[in-house]
Amino acid sequence: MLSQLISKLESPQGFSSYRQIVEWLEQEWHVQVKYKTVYSLVPYKLGAKLKVPRPISSSQDEQAINL
């Protein structure tokens, strides 16, 4: 179970929130894990990060980005 979670976290799709991880664990493994447990396990014990895109400024110059 833990090895599949790690591989899913390392995949390009990954998870965008800790709530998604909790739901995935319930659906795939029928295991209920508290949000706080996942929140502390993923970044601190596993060293993984969520797949969340960085925010983009509305004042950015579109032409400068496409260079």
Per-residue pLDDT of the chain (67 residues; tens, 9 = 90+): 899 999 999 998 899 999 999 999 999 999 999 999 999 999 999 999 999 877 777 787 777 766 5
**Residue 5 parent element (H or E):** helix 2-10
The pLDDT assigned to 53 comes to 77
The pLDDT assigned to 16 comes to 92
Pull the structure tokens for residue 55: 């925010």
The pLDDT assigned to 45 comes to 94
Nearest to 10 by CA among 46, 39, 54, 55: 46
